[in-house]
Structure 1
Amino acid sequence: MNPKLLHILQHSLGADEHGRGGGYRDHFVTGEGSKDHADCMELVEAGFMTRRANIEMYGGMDFFRVTEAGKAAMLQHSPQPPKLTKGQQRYQDYLNADCSMTFIEYLKYRDARDRRAA
C-alpha cells in the first residue's frame, strides 16, 4: 500500500505508525484542492473509505469514513513495532501506567509490588 494512503488510514483511526492504539475515531475531513483529498478519493475507490461530500458543518469540506475493509488494510499494511529492550519496555510500562509518580518512584513501587506477589 502507498505509504501516504496508509498514513491517512492510520491518522483517520487514531493509530500510530505501527497501527497501534486508536479506536476513538474513524474519519478524516478534507476539502477539494487540499493535499489529502485526492488520496482520500483513491481510498474511496479502493473501498477503504466512504465519502459524504460538501458537509456544511465542516465548511463545505468532504467527510471520509473508514470502512471495515479499510481498518483491516491498515492493520495488514502497518509495519511491526520495533523490539524494545528491557529498559525501554520498563519505561513504556511507566508511561502506560499514567500515574502521578516519577519514573524512579514507579520503579520502586513496581519492585515492591512484585516482591509482595512472589
Structure 2
Amino acid sequence: MADQLLHILQHALGVDEHGRGEQYRSHFVTGAGSDDHPCCIAAVEQGLMTRRDGATLCFGGDDLFHVTPAGRDYVAANSPPPPKLSRGQRRYQAYLDADCSLTFREWLDTPWCKAA
C-alpha cells in the first residue's frame, strides 16, 4: 500500500515518479468502490491528505482529497532518486527543456548547446 500511496500523492501533486515537477495541483478525486479510495482514507488517517465528503460537492458524489504539507514532505522523502543520465542523455534533456523551434541537430550547433 505504501507504493500505491506514494503514486497517488505524486499524481495529486502533478509530479513524476521521482517527485520532480512544479506541483501545480494538490487534489485527488475518488469514490467508494474504487481501488484508490481505501488508500486515500488511510492517507487522511496518517495526516497526509484531507477529505471533503463527495455528498456535499457538486461533481458526482466522489470524495475530494487534498494533499497536506505532511503529504508533500512524504513525497519528497519517499520518491526514488532519478536515474543517472549519460552526457548525451543530459544534452538531449537540455534540448527538450529548451522547448525551441529548432531540430535537435540545429540545436546542437547553437552556442548555448556547446555549454551543455
Determine the C-alpha separation between the residues in 2 that align with 1:114 and 1:8. 37
Question: Which residue in 1 is equivalent to 2:6?
Answer: 6
Separation in structure 2 between the aligned mates of residue 20 and residue 87 of structure 1, nearest angstrom? 21
Unaligned runs of 5+ in 2: none
Deviation at 1:100, TM superposition (A): 1.0
The letter of the residue matching 1:23 is: Q
Structure-2 separation of matches of 1:3 and 1:64: 18
Whether 1:102 and 2:91 are equivalent positions in the alignment is no
Matches within 5 A, 1:9-28: 9-28=9-28
Counterpart of 1:57 in 2: which secondary structure? Answer: coil
Q: Which amino acid aligns with 2:41?
A: M
TM-superposition CA deviations, 1:61-118 (whole Å, max 9, x none): 1000000000000010000001100000000001111111111111111xx3467x9x
- TM-superposed CA distance for 1:35, in Å, is 1.0
The residue aligned with 1:84 is 85
Q: Is the 8 A contact 2:12 2:67 kept in 1?
A: yes
Identity %: 57
In structure 2, do the counterparts of structure 1 residues 88 and 50 end up closer, same or farther at CA, with 3 Å as the change threshold? Answer: same
The runs of at least 4 aligned residues of structure 1 exceeding 6 Å deviation read: none
Separation in 1, partners of 2:14, 2:113: 33
| 2:69 counterpart residue number | 68
Q: Tell me the amino acid that sits aligned with residue 98 of structure 2.
A: A
Relative to the length of structure 1, the TM-score reads: 0.90
Conservation of the 8 A alpha-carbon contact between 2:48 and 2:69: yes
Query: Equivalent residue for 1:93?
Result: 94
Pair 41,88 (structure 1): closer, same or farther in 2 beyond 3 Å: same
Q: Residues 27 and 18 from structure 1, CA distance in 2 versus in 1: closer, same or farther, beyond 3 angstroms? A: same
Consecutive unaligned residues of structure 1, counting only runs of 5 or more, are: none
**SS of corresponding position for 1:83:** coil
Counterpart-to-counterpart distance in 2, 1:104 and 1:114? 11
How many residues align? The count is 114
